[in-house]
Copies of this chain bind each other. A is one copy, B any other.
Amino acid sequence: MSPTINKTGLPPGTVVYSGYDQNEDVMITLIEFNEKEFIEKEFTNFDECMLHVKPDMVKWINVDGIHNSELIQHIGEKFNIHTLTLEDISHTDQRPKFEEYDNYLVSIMKMLSHDSKTKSEQLSVLLMDKNTVLSFQEVHGGDAFDLIRTRLRSGKGRVRKMGADYLTYCLLDAVVDFYFVILEKVGDRIEDLEEDLVGEPSKQTMKQLHSMKREMIFLRKAVWPLREMINNFERSESKLITKPTRLFLRDVYDHTIRVIDTVESFRDLLSGMMDLYLSSVSNRMNEIMKVLTIITTIFIPLSFIAGVYGMNFKYMPELNGPNSYFYLLGIMLVIAISMIFYFKKKKWL
C-alpha cells in the first residue's frame, strides 16, 4: 500500500524517513505574528530560521518535507523533543494520535487530498509552548493551510489575537474541514454509481463499486483514530491549552464525528448497492433465460412435428391428403399461439 522502509531491527527512536524517496529540498516557513504585526519568511536552513525568531510573537514554524532525517534530529535537539516523537514524525505510516510530553503536545494525523484518487499525507503538529507551533508535512502541499495563512496576513478572524494553542486548533480544523471536501466528492461518485446501477449496470460498475469500498476502508482507517486523537487533545489537562480554545476543540471533535458518520453511511450505502448489483445481475440472467426458454419451447415441438412428416416410411396416410400440408401448418400455428398464451399467463411475456 504505502512505502515502508524496513525499519525492523533498528533501535527504537531511530529517525529514518519512511515515505516516498524525495530529492527536493526541505522548505522551512517561519510565520510570526501578534495582533499588530505579521512576518512571513522562507528558509532552507533551520539555524538561519532560528535567528529570525522574536520572543514576544506567536511563531509557526512549518517544515515542508520530512525526508531529511538529520534536519529533523537537529530540530529535535533544539526544541528538546523526545526521540520517539521524532521517529513518529519521520515514519509516514503513523496512526493518527495525540501524545502529551512534559514540555509539548504532539498531534499526528493524515491530511487528505483528492486528484483522481484520494491521497494521504502525514502532518505532525507540535504545540511547544504558549507561543510556538511546529508543523511537519510530507510535501509542499499546503492547500489546506494557504487559507489560514491568508487569514493571518489579513488579520481577519480571531487568530491574530490568540496564542499558539488556537493556531494549533486552526490547523486541525483545516485538516478536518478538508475531509468534508473529499467526502462530498466521494458522495457525488456514489450517486453517479447508483444511477448506473439503477440504469444499466456493467461489469465496470462492479469494479468501481469495489474500488469505492476500498477507499472507504482506507478513509475509515484514517478517520476513526482521528476522533480519539482530538478527544484526547480536548481532554488533555495540559496548561498549554486555554479555556476558550477548548470550546473550539469541542467543535472540531463534533466535525470529526460527522465525518465518521458520513463514512459509515457511505459504507452502508455501498453495501446496499452491492446487493442491488447482484440482484440486477440475477434479474438479467432471468431475462436471458426467459428468451431462451420461450424460443426453445415454441420451436422444438414444432420442429419435432416437421421431423415426423419428414420421415421416409412407405405408408404414412397423412402425407397423401391434398390439404394435409395446410392442415398441419394450421395445427402448428395453434400450438405456437397456445404456447404464447401460456407464457403470457406465466407473465414471461
Contact = CB atoms under 8 A, between A and B. Distances in A.
Contacts of A299: 300-301, 303-304
The binding surface of chain A is classed by DSSP as: helix
Interface stretch (A8-16, A25-33, A56-64): A8-16
Interface in A238-284: 247-248, 250-251, 254, 257-258, 261, 265, 268-269, 272-284
B301 A312 contact: no
A286 B202 CA distance: 11
Interface residues of A, number: 114
A309 B300 contact: no
28 contacts: A7-B177, A8-B147, A8-B181, A9-B177, A11-B151, A12-B157, A12-B169, A13-B158, A95-B258, A206-B276, A210-B272, A214-B269, A217-B272, A274-B279, A281-B282, A281-B283, A282-B282, A284-B286, A285-B289, A289-B293, A299-B303, A300-B300, A307-B310, A309-B311, A309-B313, A312-B316, A314-B320, A315-B322
Contacts of A301: 295, 299
Contacts of A290: 288
Give the 8 A-B residue pairs with the shortest CB-CB distance, closest first: A11-B157, A9-B147, A306-B307, A309-B311, A313-B325, A292-B293, A310-B310, A8-B177
Interface centre among A220, A283, A286, A304 (most CB of B within 10 A): A304
A341 interface: no
Contacts of A220: 265
Contact of A286 (B9, B180, B285): B285
Interface of A: 1, 4, 6-14, 82, 84, 93-95, 97, 99, 144, 146-148, 150-151, 156-159, 169-170, 173-174, 177-178, 180-181, 184, 187, 198, 200, 203, 206-207, 210, 213-214, 217-218, 220-221, 225, 247-248, 250-251, 254, 257-258, 261, 265, 268-269, 272-286, 288-293, 295-297, 299-304, 306-316, 319-325, 328-329, 347-348
Contact of A311 (B280, B297, B312): B312
Contacts of A99: 250
A235 to B, nearest CB: 16
A282 B285 contact: yes
Contacts of A269: 214, 217
Contacts of A84: 247-248, 251
A269 B225 CA distance: 19
Given A4-B180, A286-B288, A303-B304, 19 more contacts: A9-B174, A9-B177, A11-B156, A12-B248, A206-B280, A217-B269, A221-B265, A279-B281, A284-B286, A285-B289, A292-B293, A292-B296, A295-B297, A295-B301, A302-B304, A309-B312, A314-B320, A314-B322, A315-B325
A217 B320 CA distance: 72
A184 B4 contact: yes
Contact of A291 (B280, B297, B303, B308): B297
